[in-house]
Structure formats: structure tokens, C-alpha cells
Structure 1
Amino acid sequence: MTDPSGRPERPAHHEEPWIPTRRDFLVRAAGLGAFAGLAFDLPLGPYAARASVAGSAGAHARPPVALWNLTEPEYRAAFDGYFGRWGYRMADVCGYEAGGQARYAAIWEPAHPSGPDTQRCYHVIPFSDYPGHFDRLKGDGYRPVRVNGYSVAGQTFFATIWEKDRPIPLWQAHHAVKLDELYAHVSKIRKEGYVLVDLCGYSGPGLTETLCDTVWEGWPGYDTSWWWIQPQVSEINYQAQFDRMDKVHDRPTRVIGFTHLSHKHRMYASTWVKSDGRLWATRHGIDSGTMDNEVQQKRSAGYRLVSLGGFSAGLGKDAVPAFCPIWEKREAGPVITSLVARFMRYHEVPGLSLAIAKDGRLVHAQGFGLADKASGERVTTSTLFRTASIAKTITAAAVMKLASEGKLSPIDLVFGSSGHLKDLGTPEDARAEKIIVLHLLQHLAGGWANDANDPMYTNPSLGQNELISWVLKNRSLDNAPGTTFAYSNFGYCVLGRVIEKATGKPYDAYVKENILAPSGVTGMQIAGNTQADRRQGEAVYYGQAGENPYDAQVARMDAHGGWLATAVDLLRFAVRVDGLPTRPDILDRDWIAYMTKPSGLFGSNGCASGWFTNTAGTWWHLGNLVGTEAVLVRTADGFCWAALINTRRRDPVHQNTETGLDNLMWAIRDQVDLWPQGQDL
């Protein structure tokens, strides 16, 4: 139910105006203090509230932040802090007039540490400058995602958010559409297959007419089942249409208000999509005091503020702030289903499986789409997928296990007369005799990189030992061992043979017995090469752009890319080498620390032994093989997740599946607020 509040407007500040200091924002960004509604250990004023909620499995380390009724200096200070210093991204921004002065409202959300999330944000673009501003940003590859027009003292300005590298190949944006032409405009663009994702109404220059801007997105196959309530002068008419939309279980994505110049009345409009099951709440035309109270109440009930809808109720010095906020209860199931569907549509993914753990407990596992398009077999949480290079995390753990037992050392030589693999021949390049186990773990062997000459994609008739002997005889190093980073599949193939030499067992047998079984994993196995070799319960893989998923020696890739697994089994392994206190680890703490300590070598991107790492305490590895993408991530605040798909797209123009799958999982982590209690892994 929405209704405008009849309460009298409250001043923006109770007593003395507050301008945030650096310490104020540092405290907020660090998650200190109460920061709910008006409660905070520093003087916030009545416009600040945290938009996050704590779920049953705990809140995010850095929750979203919403601020409103900011003066221009206050807004700049907030923007410089959250966006400029502390790694937040903007989710919403709007400007409006209050008593003849500009005021601003915005929502900042934490930007995840994986992949580009480039934004440009502006809040005082004059109306006359907007076309040139638009053209420059479009030429630089940016798209508008929020456009908000507002007037102050008879002058019209825009506050905008622009992004690039988003997986949306088709978009449109239209400027200064006359209000009486808006319905025809929306009808025309809708027929072209686009979805209206942002809409604003504002007073044009000189307050002579009411204008609108629209932003549209779409892609082939996009579900265009969306609706809108066009701007209504009558409060009764808007409410009646709102109630009809609510009754058929649709969900609002944007609610806007503005003052109609001719009628001097408030007008409201909104956009809607099919409900995905998430709970929501919205109001329209509420004043600042009501906004403060509503935010606090909704937060207590587990809702996140996702849109502010700030606008000027009235004109000039008579204008007061009003808001059309939207809240959502971000429970895991609906949010994950919606995000996955969007990802799969865009990348033409047949099947996907994911699993997410929090504090060592499985909080979500689900399969989507088809494991086999021909038979119609669905992906389930039991579906096996090729994991590609995620196998390197398992191999690294096996090496650490052997090292902890004194059966080998990370500083052991690998080749030459004193090396573990001395029986495979003397290297033609004498520098190879100085390669130690740690060099292979951290991709510092000095050659054999994953490039067009990757040894693992040559000599398909040779077994692993034979291939290593051939490489030692025929392929020299590029650099001295330990001096340069070069990601190497071949290096991990060699590590598999080192494990075999140290244990006297086949690589997969040792790993199953000593790494997987203690982790509670019983179903993982080495993949076959052809579709005829497909294991029971394994997905079928589909190439894109002419790639053949069954034209590779996957079984030979055992230690660097050959394992089959479910997403849940990958988590069972990950939570037992994560160094966190929630589940008993299969490695000693010191060996986990050793395994995840990066080499620090130039260009190594935080690469440690089997994992990539960063200073935020995130560990990850991606898997990339023809017909396969995979991701495995561990975060410092207790999350682990795995995701697997049965296709691969390499797109030089738009986002590829490797980046897309990684970004999907970070989006899930950032957008879900309420996780179930989960179950032991």
C-alpha cells in the first residue's frame, strides 16, 4: 500500500547543521556505530540510514549505505568517501529542491573485488550541457543506468550514474521527452523489445514545461514482460492502478514523483516486472520525517532500501523534499534465481550449478537449466561438471599434505639427478634442473606457459610421463626459474607426477584417499575425453563459436584440469582448507598460511600455491576449458562458493562467460541479505 504522508515537513537538521568529517565516514564505512535511522555515535542528522540488514547467517562485511537531504558540500564529502576512498559503487542518486536550495540523496553499495565495475557519477549537469555530456560518455563506452532531472531556483540540472562493462549489448536513452508525448514514446520503444529501466520527470529550463528522460535495456531473448503506470495527476487513479498491479503479484522496480508545472500537483509513475518471489514495500510522496521512520522500521523487518525516489514537492522556495522509496527483502532463493536467469539468457548457457556456504554451512545449492539438451535432462545439485583449473587448488592441497608429513618439501628439486622425476630424463635446458616444487606451485618455473604453445595441448598420443620427457628434451625455458610469473598448466601436470613419485600411488587415488575423503567428498573423479566417455551423472558440454568440447585430452590434465565435481563437493573441499575456524581443516594452519602466501613477483596478481589471493583475504581460482567455466571463491568473512556451467563464450566485445560467471557469484553475495541457517557440509 502506498499513500502520501500528511505529516508536516520537518527541517533537514534538528539543531546545528552537520558537515561530515573524514572520521565520520571512516566510522560508517568500517561498520562501526549503530547507524540505523537517526541512531549513531556521531552527529549524523536525520538523513542518514544504513540500508543493509543482517540475515540468519550474518550481514555483509561492508553493508550498503543510504543518505538523503544532503547539502551539496555534504554530498561531495560523502561521494569522495564512499566512492572515492572506500570502494563503494553508486546504486541510486537524485537531486531535488528544498526551500530554494539543492539537496541530494544517494545509495552506495560495496563494489566486489572481482572484475571491472567502472562507474562515472555526476550530480550537477546543467540542462544545456547534458547532450554533449551524454555523447562524450557514450563515446567512452559508458551507458546511463540512472538519470534524474531536477530544478533549483528555476534552473534544470541532472544527476546521473553511468557504467561500462555491463553485460547488456543493447540500450537506448532519450532526453527531454515532452510529458504529453511520453505514452507514445514508451509504446514505440517497447515494441522494439526494450525494457524501461529508468524514468524521471522534471521541470524544464525556466520552468516552462514538464519533461521526461527514459533509459532502456535489452538483449536477444530478453523477457519483455514488464508494465508501467504512466504519470497520474490523480492520487486516487495512481493508487487504484497500483493496487491492481500488486494484486497480480507484480513487483515495482522504479517509483518516481514530480511536480506538474501546469497543475501544480504532484504526479507519480512507476515501472513493474513479474514478481520473482521477493518481498517488497514502497511508498510515494512521503516527507523526510516519514522517510526516516520508514527506513528504520523496514530495516528492522529485514528490508533493504534499493531506490530513493527523491523529488521536489512544490516549486521554488515553497518546495520541500518528498520521496518514493522502494524496499526489498533480499532472501537468497528469489534473488539467486533472478540473477542466474539473467546470466544464462545473456550468455546462452544450457546448464548451471552453484553452491554457497557461510561459516562452514551450506546455505544454498541449486541446479538450473539443462545438463543434456537432447534428452532434456535437468541440472541438479548432483550433476557432475568438468572443473578445469580448479583442479590446481586440489593438487596444491595434496602437495601441502605431503609436505606436512615430511614426504616431500616445497624446496625439493623436481628434475635432474637429485629431483623427484630424475627418471624422466635430463633436461636439455640445464636451467630446468633448478626448478623446485614451489616454483611449480606458484607458476614460477620460467616457461611452459598457458599460451598458444601450451605443452598440454600438444602430442595427444603421449601419456603424462612421456609428455614430460618430450618437453624436457624439446622445449627450453624462457627465463631462469623463480624470476618470472607465467601461468602454467604443464607445471601442475608435473606436480601430479611428483605426488605419484612421493606416494607410490596414482595421482587420483592419493587425492581421493587423503584430500577428498577426509573432506567428505566421495563422488569426484577424473573426466574422460569424449562424449562417449561421459560419466554417470555428468553434464554434456556445448561449444560456442565453433569450439569442440570433446577435442581435448582432459583425462591427461588430471592434476591441472581433469577433475569432475558437483558444486557442493567443491565446497566440501574448500571449507576444509579455508583456514577459518568454522570447520576442521585437513591441513595444519601453518601449511594453509604457506599455501596461500603469494610469491609477490611482478605480474603474479596475488598468485600463491593453487590459489589467487588479495589483501582483502579473498582466495579464488577460475576454471576455463572448451565447453566449461568454473569458479571457486573463499572470502575472509566466511563465505565460500562454487559455480559450474557447461559452455564457454569468448567474446572480445561483450562480457565473456569467465568474467560473467565470476561477477554473477559476487552479485549474489552482495545482493542477498537473508540466508537460511543451512546445513553442515
Structure 2
Amino acid sequence: MKSFLQTGLLVLFSFFLSLQITFSQAWVSRHNLSPAQYQAAFDDYVKDGYRLSTVSGYTCSGQERYIALWEKKAGPEWAARHGLSSQDYQAAFDDFTKKGFRLTHVSGYGVGSQAKFAAIWQKTSGAAWAARHNLTAAQYQKAFDDFSKQGYRLLHVSGYVVNNIEYFAGIWEKSAGNAYVARHNLTASQYQQAFNDYTKQGYALKTVSGYTKNGTNLYAAIWEKIASPLWAARHGVSNGNYQYVFDNMYYQGYKPTYVNAYSSGNSCEYNAIWTNTNMKGSDIAAIDEAVNQYMSSQSVKGLSIAICKNGRLVFAKGYGYADAASGEEMSPDQPLRIMSISKPVTSVGVMTLMDQHKISLDKPVFGPNSILGSKYATPAGKEKLNKITVRQLLTHTSGLRSCNGESVFWDQNKTADDAMNVLLNASDLITTDTSDKYIYSNTNFFILARIIEQVSGQSYENYIRSSVLTKCGIGNTMYVGAASGNAKAGEATYVPMDKMNLQLWAGFGGWVARPIDLLKFLNRVDGASIPSDVLTTPTHTTMVTGTALNNGYGCGWIVSGSLQNHNGCFDGTRSFLVELGNGLSYSVIVNNNPSNDGCGWTMKSAIEAGLSKVSGYPTYDLF
């Protein structure tokens, strides 16, 4: 391995992910595109006024692929080509140079036993410049040394391997500038060490190119000593984690400035660089420190959080792992079990029926002329059931003990009717007369789910989706979990992985959601005028009003004045959905048992201590 030290500049880096979401539609990033898909995307974005700023060719599982970044901005005339052989690339280079274009970016990559190239040119004037490609490591080092002696600085480098030989393509410009450092043929550990060292010395990463030789991933990079906005970089991100990393950066306000991908073994890996002009580094650090300290002290493996300000999603991030065993990273877009936050969801479903004039909260649930009496007969000796109203179920003042320990709730083959019959015939179901005592009870919300079905004529989940979630702008990332208790595709895993019948738990603990989804939900049921609520004002007031038996619990919500929150806790997960006041709210979920945080209250305190140190939030909305 050889290295060089000089004064020069460039922007490239190792990156993870592609997604078609943008800040003000100013940029678009795509990855894993076949040549045809890349050409189609290129054509579409150019028609929409986007300019290609970065493109990297690579192979993944033996297939030619592209990752690219487009930006919607004005600029000089430009041109781009991809999939060029060495001969075709040289011809294109010569032709564009004659027409007054300067090469601004080149990506070399091996496809089979052939070198291919993707490149970008701009029609601009400026200092003298030069470019070389298909240089061996020795030739590249010599070119670097020679150009440096002549006053040229390295702007861009691309490393690639063909027939197990590493080659380099570079762009130089004859100009003075800030101090810079360029290194190549660095192993992953050497690159990480160099990254750490140069960052401490005030250098910003401008370019990183990955390539693999003899089964070892290598890196070529350029750092520049320059004042820079908040920035971050990742390298060697696996194909499976690429989207998760990209999502994480996006929801923190970062914008990708350079993307790169390369073949690695039987798959591919990604490098990237981002900058952030939307949030202060100190504010992100305040959130990170609070979360990381909690996770470390409680042995939490994975955590996902989202934050809203005045109805706008301003921050979301996944920490640790969605699946620690496989190394799958957590991101804001992976749904997790929310357990008892399902109760507020059920409550809003009932309140929606009330707004539709289909139900009264003071209507009896069981017995003659009741909601469920015609379907579920009151067992002999349990006439106290006939006194229970919908309101008492919502406020946990029904006198019924809690369920979920019964075997019926853990059997994927059992139905809601099976579970209801088990409960109604249980000798210990009724613990006290109605309205004698506040008793937090899952049974109440299991029954409420049956009420929703009986009154609406739909399944519980279908009614909630059509009458609540869709109105809140929530899609299929929020759903009732599987009857088998297994995690669905795309869902995080849990430790321990208890396998309850989540279809039966639905009303009191069976929903799965992203923190982002929960904030969308809270925004539309919090009584605030922006965004508008899906409930009427009188109904919302009823929902958040406590009882004489517990002034801090309304209808399915923990309440403090008009502020709403709820937690969820069970094996393998803890969750909180919190309205803090002053327009700030957040949701947080973890996917394993904390070592000493029974129902997440320590997590709540830790998060809020961190949020109290944040000086401000962006004005955009990431929903």
C-alpha cells in the first residue's frame, strides 16, 4: 500500500442506501438499478430538471448495477455516460474535451473481466486539469507524485478491480487550495483509523471509493482541511442494511452528497457522505447521548424514536439493531410491537363510532338490550356483567380483571369467540362492582374490540384502518400482528420472542407500528387545530377526561390536563407515545427487555431529559 500527502480537494465517500424521498424535492438518490432501470430513471429525472451529481457502477451478485444521486439545481451544460468500455470511454472523453467539457466525475468498475466506466462532464472553463484511468497502483502513485510536483491537486479518485488487479481513475486540477490528504489501498481497519485521525485534525472526507481484491475490501479516499457544515460518512454498509442507513440519515436532516458502491464477495457494499444544514450537531448529540446512555445502562439492543414539533415530523432515528443476531440495523421505517399503546387506538375507534352516532358510552355491554347481549349471553350468576357500560371499559372501571395469560390468547388457531367464551366463564373474571375501583385491565379492551366489530359490521382491524388510520395518513406500516406471534416481513425481531396470538391481543396489545405512525396518529387525535383532528372537540374532551377513581386516566389514555400519553410493556418490547406540550411530542419503542425498566418509565425520563437540551428543530415536515 502506498499513500500520499498534499494540498488538494475532492468530494466522494462510502454510502448506504437509495430512496426516492427528498428535502423540498431538491435531490433524489437511487440504488441497485439495472442498466435499463438506471437509464429510465436518468431520463425521467432529467426531464424534471434534475442534474446528475454522482454515479457509481458496480456489480451485485454478478449483476451490473448503478447507484446515483441527482440534484435539482441550475448549472452549466452537462453530459453523462455509463456502461462504457475503456475504448468507448476514451473516445467519449476526447470528444467532450474537444467541445469544451471538463470531466467532473468518473466511476470505474469491473464487470466480468472487463473494465467499464460511468462519467459526468460539465461545459465550464477554469484552471488546467488532467484525468487518467486504468492506472495500476504503481502508475497511480507515480501520476499523483508527478501532478503534485506540477502544482496539480487531486479532485477525485475511483478505485476498481478487474481480473483481481486494482486500477485507479483520477481527476486533477492545477490550482491552489486547502490542505488535503489522499490515501489508497487501505483495508477497512486502516481506512477507519485514517478517517478517525484526519477527522480529529479538522479534515472533512470528500471522496471514498471501495473495491475488493483477493476477498479483501479496500478503500481509496480524499480528505480536505476545510470548514464544512455538519457531515457524516459510512463505509462498507452491507446490501441488506443500505436502505436502513439511508433512512436513518434522511430522518435526521442529512442530505447525501456522494454515493459509491462496489462488489464484495457474492454481494455488494456501499459508501456515502452526507451533510446536514437542518439540525445543529449539538442538538443531535443531545438526543444521541440520552438514547445511547439508556441503551447501555439497560442492555437494550435496538431502539427507534420519532419526534414531532407543532404537527411536523422533525426527527426520527433507529439505534442499534432491529435484529442483533443477523446484524440488521434499526431504522425509523421498521415497524415494532407497541403493546398497550394499542389501547388508545381502540379508544379512538370507539370514539369515532360515537361521532358517527352509532354508539353511546353509557350503553350496557352485556345483557338485555345491550350491545353484545345477543351474541354473548351473560352466564348464570354473573349478572354484574349487565351493569358494565362502554365508558367503564374505556376507563378501566368495569370491575373486570385483566386477561392475556389464558392459553386461548396464545393459540393461533383460536378465534375471538373462543377467547370471549373462556373469559365469560372464568370464575374470577369479576373482581369488584362497576365503578368501585380503577383496575387496569386488558379484558376491557378485548371486549371493546368486539364492540367495534358488532357496531360497525366490520372486522376490528378493517374498521380501525378505514375509519381511523387512513384518515390519519397511516399506511400499511401499522397493522395487527400475526396470529402465530411471528414477526412479519420487514418487522423488527424481539428478545424474547414471545408468540402470542396478536390477532386476539389486537384491541389491547396487538398492534405493530413505527414511531412515525404513532405520531401521525397522535397528531390527529390530540385536540390541536393543526393538523385537524379526526374526532370532534366534544368527543376529544370526553376521551381525555379522567374519572373520580383515577383522574390521570381517561378513555384509553393516560392524561395530564389535555395532554395525552400511553406506554406499552411486555416481553421483548417497551414503548411510549407522549404529548409533552408546547407542540412537542415523541414516540419511542425498543425491541428487547431492558435490564431494569419494568414498563418503560426510566426510558421516558431518559428521553425527555435529552429532549430538554435540544435548542430547536427544523421547520420542515418529514411525514
TM-score by length of 2: 0.53
Aligned mates of 2:599, 2:294 — CA distance in 1: 9
Aligned to 1:591: 539
Q: Deviations over 1:644-664 (max 9, x none)?
A: 11012363xxx4461222112
Aligned to 1:194: none
1:661 is the counterpart of 2:603 = yes
Aligned to 1:463: 415
Q: Which of 444, 464, 467 is matched with 1:511 structurally?
A: 464
Aligned to 2:558: 612
Structure showing the higher strand proportion among its residues: 2
Aligned to 1:670: 612
Aligned mates of 1:610, 1:456 — CA distance in 2: 24
Q: Deviations over 1:287-319 (max 9, x none)?
A: xxxxxxxxxxxxxxxxxxxxxxxxxxxxxxxxx
Aligned to 1:27: none
Q: Deviations over 1:39-89 (max 9, x none)?
A: xxxxxxxxxxxxxxxxxxxxxxxxxxxxxxxxxxxxxxxxxxxxxxxxxxx
User: Where in structure 2 are the equivalents of 1:122-133 lying within 5 Å?
Assistant: none
Aligned mates of 1:489, 1:578 — CA distance in 2: 23
Aligned to 1:621: 566
Aligned to 2:356: 405
Amino acid at match of 2:542: Y
Aligned mates of 2:408, 2:600 — CA distance in 1: 21
Residue 479 of structure 1: how far off its partner (Å):
1.1
Preserved CA contact (<8 Å) 1:455 1:471: no
Amino acid at match of 1:526: V
Preserved CA contact (<8 Å) 1:330 1:674: no
Preserved CA contact (<8 Å) 1:427 1:433: no
Q: Deviations over 1:229-281 (max 9, x none)?
A: xxxxxxxxxxxxxxx9x9768xxxxxxxxxxxxxxxxxxxxxxxxxxx89xxx
Secondary structure at 1:648 match in 2 = coil
Preserved CA contact (<8 Å) 2:526 2:563: no
Preserved CA contact (<8 Å) 2:303 2:319: yes
Aligned to 2:259: none
Preserved CA contact (<8 Å) 2:323 2:492: yes
Q: Which of 481, 497, 514 is matched with 1:527 structurally?
A: 481
Residue 635 of structure 1: how far off its partner (Å):
2.7
Preserved CA contact (<8 Å) 2:411 2:500: no
Secondary structure at 2:470 match in 1 = helix
Aligned mates of 1:463, 1:347 — CA distance in 2: 37
**Percent of residue pairs bearing the same amino acid type:** 28
Preserved CA contact (<8 Å) 2:302 2:319: yes
Residue 470 of structure 1: how far off its partner (Å):
2.4
1:343 is the counterpart of 2:294 = yes
Aligned mates of 1:419, 1:529 — CA distance in 2: 29
Aligned to 2:97: none
**Structure 1 residues 330 and 600, CA, compared in 2 at 3 Å: closer, same or farther?**
farther
Secondary structure at 2:471 match in 1 = helix
Residue 331 of structure 1: how far off its partner (Å):
4.2
Preserved CA contact (<8 Å) 1:629 1:648: yes
**Structure 1 residues 416 and 594, CA, compared in 2 at 3 Å: closer, same or farther?**
same
Residue 455 of structure 1: how far off its partner (Å):
8.8
Aligned to 2:385: 432
Secondary structure at 2:581 match in 1 = coil
Preserved CA contact (<8 Å) 2:412 2:483: no
Preserved CA contact (<8 Å) 1:363 1:677: yes
Preserved CA contact (<8 Å) 1:454 1:489: no
Preserved CA contact (<8 Å) 2:557 2:566: yes
Aligned to 1:260: none
Preserved CA contact (<8 Å) 1:443 1:487: yes
Aligned mates of 1:405, 1:675 — CA distance in 2: 37
Aligned to 2:434: 481
**Structure 1 residues 518 and 338, CA, compared in 2 at 3 Å: closer, same or farther?**
same
Amino acid at match of 1:495: L
Aligned to 2:580: 635
Aligned mates of 2:557, 2:531 — CA distance in 1: 19
Residue 483 of structure 1: how far off its partner (Å):
1.8
Aligned mates of 2:283, 2:619 — CA distance in 1: 11
User: Where in structure 2 are the equivalents of 1:241-320 lying within 5 Å?
Assistant: none
Residue 530 of structure 1: how far off its partner (Å):
4.6
1:356 is the counterpart of 2:302 = no
Residue 460 of structure 1: how far off its partner (Å):
7.4
List, as ranges, runs of 4+ consecutive aligned residues in structure 1 with deviation greater than 4 Å: 246-249, 453-461
Residue 665 of structure 1: how far off its partner (Å):
2.4
Q: Deviations over 1:164-190 (max 9, x none)?
A: xxxxxxxxxxxxxxxxxxxxxxxxxxx
Secondary structure at 1:671 match in 2 = coil
Preserved CA contact (<8 Å) 1:459 1:467: no
Secondary structure at 2:612 match in 1 = helix
Amino acid at match of 1:670: S
Aligned to 2:489: 536
Amino acid at match of 2:297: Y
Cα RMSD after superposing both structures: 2.7
Q: Deviations over 1:206-241 (max 9, x none)?
A: xxxxxxxxxxxxxxxxxxxxxxxxxxxxxxxxxxxx
Aligned mates of 2:406, 2:601 — CA distance in 1: 22
Secondary structure at 2:308 match in 1 = strand
**Structure 1 residues 450 and 474, CA, compared in 2 at 3 Å: closer, same or farther?**
closer
Aligned to 2:444: 491
Amino acid at match of 2:560: N
Structure 1: gaps (5+ residues):
1-243, 250-276, 279-328, 544-548
Total equivalences in the alignment: 349
Aligned mates of 1:583, 1:331 — CA distance in 2: 29
Amino acid at match of 2:557: W
1:334 is the counterpart of 2:285 = yes
Aligned mates of 1:576, 1:360 — CA distance in 2: 9
Amino acid at match of 2:490: G
Aligned mates of 1:456, 1:338 — CA distance in 2: 43
Preserved CA contact (<8 Å) 2:412 2:484: no
Aligned mates of 1:530, 1:248 — CA distance in 2: 54
Aligned to 1:558: 506
Residue 375 of structure 1: how far off its partner (Å):
2.1
User: Where in structure 2 are the equivalents of 1:89-488 lying within 5 Å?
Assistant: 331-422=282-373, 423-428=375-380, 429-449=382-402, 462-475=414-427, 476-488=429-441
Aligned to 2:589: 644
**Structure 1 residues 443 and 343, CA, compared in 2 at 3 Å: closer, same or farther?**
same
Residue 478 of structure 1: how far off its partner (Å):
1.4
Q: Which of 426, 436, 453 is matched with 1:500 structurally?
A: 453
Aligned mates of 2:595, 2:387 — CA distance in 1: 37
Amino acid at match of 1:629: R
Preserved CA contact (<8 Å) 2:411 2:501: no
Preserved CA contact (<8 Å) 2:306 2:519: yes
Aligned mates of 1:344, 1:331 — CA distance in 2: 20
Amino acid at match of 2:529: P
Amino acid at match of 2:395: Q
Bigger CA drift: 507-516 or 409-418?
Answer: 409-418
Aligned mates of 2:419, 2:528 — CA distance in 1: 39
Preserved CA contact (<8 Å) 1:649 1:657: no
Amino acid at match of 1:578: D
Aligned mates of 1:633, 1:362 — CA distance in 2: 14
**Structure 1 residues 480 and 627, CA, compared in 2 at 3 Å: closer, same or farther?**
same
Preserved CA contact (<8 Å) 1:411 1:436: yes
Amino acid at match of 2:514: T
Aligned to 1:573: 521
Amino acid at match of 1:507: Y
Preserved CA contact (<8 Å) 1:449 1:488: yes
Preserved CA contact (<8 Å) 2:409 2:505: no
Preserved CA contact (<8 Å) 2:411 2:484: no
